[in-house]
């Protein structure tokens, strides 16, 4: 049997669980503070926690060991993450967590489309059906009727 810590599915489910907690904690956290400041504070916590993890596990890498192309895409990813978080915190400040989070998860649909368009990945008919159902489900959960 495969070691659970080496399983992508384990880590993906853990990610989903922590993302759910993020929405709940952030919704409460932005109640009485500017959403941009809340995101700034959260980012400091992330940087400190991740720095501590890297130090404790001795995973720091020399900066010159990383290819320039890698830096470009990590910078772009960081900018996209920041923009996503800014929008997410603003949406949580203005709306219900139970409606904001599903719309945010439309990113799953967009990842599938972008992965096919830009990375050359292929999805089967059942995969596309799942993507469509995720999109439809997100919209239904967010619907305030």
The answer as to whether 3 is a domain residue is no
Contact 108, 134 (CB under 8 A): yes
The more confident residue out of 144 and 118 is 118
The answer as to whether 133 is a domain residue is yes
pLDDT per residue as tens digits for the range 128-144: 999 999 999 999 998 88
User: Is it the case that residue 2 has pLDDT exceeding 70?
Assistant: no
Same domain for 66 and 134?
A: no
pLDDT band at 6 (very low <50, low <70, confident <90, very high): confident
The answer as to whether 17 is a domain residue is yes
The span from the first CA to the last CA of the chain, in angstroms, equals 46
In terms of residue numbers, what domain contains 111? 105-145
Number of domains in the chain: 2
Question: If you average pLDDT over every residue of the chain, what do you get?
Answer: 93
Same domain for 21 and 64?
A: yes
The answer as to whether 1 is a domain residue is no
pLDDT per residue as tens digits for the range 63-89: 999 999 999 999 999 999 999 999 999
Same domain for 131 and 75?
A: no
Supply 112's token pair: 């599938």
pTM above 0.85, yes or no: no
User: Is it the case that residue 93 has pLDDT exceeding 80?
Assistant: yes
The answer as to whether 132 is a domain residue is yes
Same domain for 18 and 43?
A: yes
Average pLDDT score over residue span 31-49? 94
Nearest 5°: the CA angle 73, 77, 81 is 170
Same domain for 76 and 138?
A: no
Same domain for 54 and 121?
A: no
pLDDT band at 145 (very low <50, low <70, confident <90, very high): confident
Same domain for 109 and 90?
A: no
The answer as to whether 47 is a domain residue is yes
3-state secondary structure the chain: CCCHHHCHHHHHHHHHHHHHHHHHHHHHHCCCCCHHHHHHHHHHHHHHHHHHHHHHCCCCCCHHHCCHHHHHHHHHHHHHHHHHHHHHHHHHHHCCHHHHHHHHCCHHHHHHHHHHHHHCCCCCHHHHHHHHHHHHHHHHHHCCC
Same domain for 80 and 17?
A: yes
């Amino acid at each position: 049997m495969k070691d659970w810590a080496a399983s992508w599915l384990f880590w993906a489910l853990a990610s989903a669980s922590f993302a759910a907690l993020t929405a709940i904690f952030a919704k409460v956290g932005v109640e009485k503070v500017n959403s941009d400041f809340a995101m700034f504070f959260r980012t400091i916590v992330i940087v400190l926690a991740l720095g501590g993890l890297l130090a404790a596990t001795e995973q720091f890498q020399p900066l010159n060991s990383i290819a320039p192309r890698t830096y470009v895409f990590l910078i772009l990813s960081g900018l996209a993450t920041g923009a996503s978080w800014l929008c997410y915190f603003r949406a949580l400040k203005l709306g219900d967590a139970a409606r904001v989070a599903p719309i945010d998860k439309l990113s799953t649909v967009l990842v599938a489309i972008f992965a096919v368009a830009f990375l050359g990945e292929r999805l089967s008919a059942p995969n596309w059906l799942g993507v469509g159902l995720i999109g439809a489900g997100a919209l239904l959960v967010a619907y305030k009727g």
